[in-house]
Protein backbone atom coordinates (compact mmCIF):
# COMPACT_ATOMS: atom_id res chain seq x y z
CA UNK A 1 0.00 0.00 0.00
CA UNK A 2 1.34 3.43 -0.92
CA UNK A 3 1.28 5.74 2.11
CA UNK A 4 2.77 8.83 0.47
CA UNK A 5 0.24 10.37 -1.92
CA UNK A 6 -3.22 10.17 -0.32
CA UNK A 7 -3.21 13.85 0.67
CA UNK A 8 -2.55 14.73 -2.98
CA UNK A 9 -5.47 12.60 -4.18
CA UNK A 10 -8.35 13.50 -1.81
CA UNK A 11 -8.09 16.15 0.89
CA UNK A 12 -10.46 16.00 3.86
CA UNK A 13 -11.74 19.17 5.45
CA UNK A 14 -11.78 19.20 9.27
CA UNK A 15 -15.59 18.87 9.15
CA UNK A 16 -15.45 15.79 6.92
CA UNK A 17 -12.83 14.21 9.15
CA UNK A 18 -14.88 14.79 12.32
CA UNK A 19 -18.01 13.29 10.75
CA UNK A 20 -16.02 10.33 9.41
CA UNK A 21 -14.59 9.70 12.91
CA UNK A 22 -18.10 9.75 14.42
CA UNK A 23 -19.39 7.27 11.85
CA UNK A 24 -16.28 5.09 11.98
CA UNK A 25 -16.63 4.71 15.76
CA UNK A 26 -19.87 2.78 15.11
CA UNK A 27 -18.15 0.28 12.77
CA UNK A 28 -17.02 -3.18 13.85
CA UNK A 29 -13.24 -3.53 13.57
CA UNK A 30 -12.99 0.28 13.41
CA UNK A 31 -9.23 0.41 14.16
CA UNK A 32 -8.52 -1.67 11.03
CA UNK A 33 -10.69 0.44 8.72
CA UNK A 34 -10.29 3.69 6.87
CA UNK A 35 -12.50 5.90 4.73
CA UNK A 36 -12.40 4.58 1.17
CA UNK A 37 -13.22 7.23 -1.45
CA UNK A 38 -13.73 5.78 -4.92
CA UNK A 39 -15.48 6.10 -8.25
CA UNK A 40 -17.44 3.51 -10.19
CA UNK A 41 -19.45 3.34 -13.39
CA UNK A 42 -22.99 4.63 -12.94
CA UNK A 43 -25.04 7.69 -12.23
CA UNK A 44 -26.61 9.97 -14.81
CA UNK A 45 -23.25 11.45 -15.90
CA UNK A 46 -21.32 8.19 -16.37
CA UNK A 47 -19.26 7.89 -13.16
CA UNK A 48 -20.38 8.19 -9.55
CA UNK A 49 -18.65 8.84 -6.24
CA UNK A 50 -18.83 6.40 -3.36
CA UNK A 51 -17.64 6.31 0.25
CA UNK A 52 -17.33 3.27 2.48
CA UNK A 53 -15.39 2.24 5.57
CA UNK A 54 -13.03 -0.49 4.47
CA UNK A 55 -9.69 -2.16 5.14
CA UNK A 56 -6.69 -1.29 2.99
CA UNK A 57 -5.92 -3.39 -0.08
CA UNK A 58 -2.85 -3.92 -2.24
CA UNK A 59 -2.52 -1.05 -4.71
CA UNK A 60 -4.36 1.48 -2.53
CA UNK A 61 -3.03 4.97 -2.02
CA UNK A 62 -3.37 5.60 1.70
CA UNK A 63 -2.65 8.40 4.14
CA UNK A 64 -3.95 9.92 7.36
CA UNK A 65 -5.63 13.30 7.66
CA UNK A 66 -7.00 14.72 10.92
CA UNK A 67 -6.83 11.23 12.44
CA UNK A 68 -8.74 9.53 9.59
CA UNK A 69 -7.05 7.03 7.28
CA UNK A 70 -8.08 7.78 3.68
CA UNK A 71 -7.95 4.98 1.09
CA UNK A 72 -8.16 5.42 -2.69
CA UNK A 73 -7.86 2.48 -5.09
CA UNK A 74 -5.55 2.67 -8.10
CA UNK A 75 -8.44 3.00 -10.61
CA UNK A 76 -9.99 5.96 -8.75
CA UNK A 77 -6.76 7.93 -8.29
CA UNK A 78 -6.79 9.37 -11.83
CA UNK A 79 -10.38 10.58 -11.42
CA UNK A 80 -10.07 11.94 -7.87
CA UNK A 81 -6.63 13.60 -7.78
CA UNK A 82 -6.97 17.09 -6.29
CA UNK A 83 -10.49 16.52 -4.91
CA UNK A 84 -11.69 17.88 -1.58
CA UNK A 85 -14.17 16.01 0.62
CA UNK A 86 -16.26 18.19 2.93
CA UNK A 87 -19.23 17.59 5.21
CA UNK A 88 -22.13 20.03 5.00
CA UNK A 89 -25.07 20.21 7.38
CA UNK A 90 -28.19 21.46 5.61
CA UNK A 91 -31.93 20.81 5.73
CA UNK A 92 -31.81 19.76 2.10
CA UNK A 93 -28.82 18.18 0.42
CA UNK A 94 -26.58 17.92 3.47
CA UNK A 95 -23.90 15.26 3.90
CA UNK A 96 -20.52 14.52 2.40
CA UNK A 97 -19.74 16.66 -0.65
CA UNK A 98 -16.83 16.01 -3.01
CA UNK A 99 -15.42 18.88 -5.06
CA UNK A 100 -13.56 17.37 -8.00
CA UNK A 101 -11.42 19.58 -10.28
CA UNK A 102 -11.33 16.76 -12.87
CA UNK A 103 -15.09 16.66 -13.42
CA UNK A 104 -15.99 18.20 -16.77
CA UNK A 105 -19.68 18.06 -15.90
CA UNK A 106 -21.78 16.88 -12.96
CA UNK A 107 -25.40 15.95 -12.54
CA UNK A 108 -27.77 18.05 -10.45
CA UNK A 109 -27.45 15.87 -7.36
CA UNK A 110 -23.62 16.16 -7.39
CA UNK A 111 -23.12 12.42 -6.96
CA UNK A 112 -22.11 11.62 -10.54
CA UNK A 113 -19.77 13.23 -13.05
CA UNK A 114 -18.08 12.95 -16.42
CA UNK A 115 -14.42 13.64 -17.18
Structural domain contains residue 10: yes
Structural domain contains residue 58: yes
**Can you give the pLDDT at residue 41?**
78
Q: Which domain holds residue 64?
A: 6-114
Structural domain contains residue 55: yes
Identify the CATH number of the domain in which residue 100 sits.
2.60.300.12
Extended beta strands in the chain, E state = 10-12, 34-41, 47-54, 61-65, 68-72, 83-88, 95-99, 105-106, 112-114
Structural domain contains residue 22: yes
Structural domain contains residue 1: no
Structural domain contains residue 66: yes
pLDDT at residue 86 tops 90 = yes
Write the pLDDT tens digit of every residue in 1-10.
Answer: 544 455 569 9
Number of domains present in the structure of the chain:
1
The whole-angstrom separation of Cα 32 and Cα 45 is 33
Amino acid sequence: MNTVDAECVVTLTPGAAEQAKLLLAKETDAPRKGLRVYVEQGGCSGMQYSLVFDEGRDGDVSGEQFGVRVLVDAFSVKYLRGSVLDYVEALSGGGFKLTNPNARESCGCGKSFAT
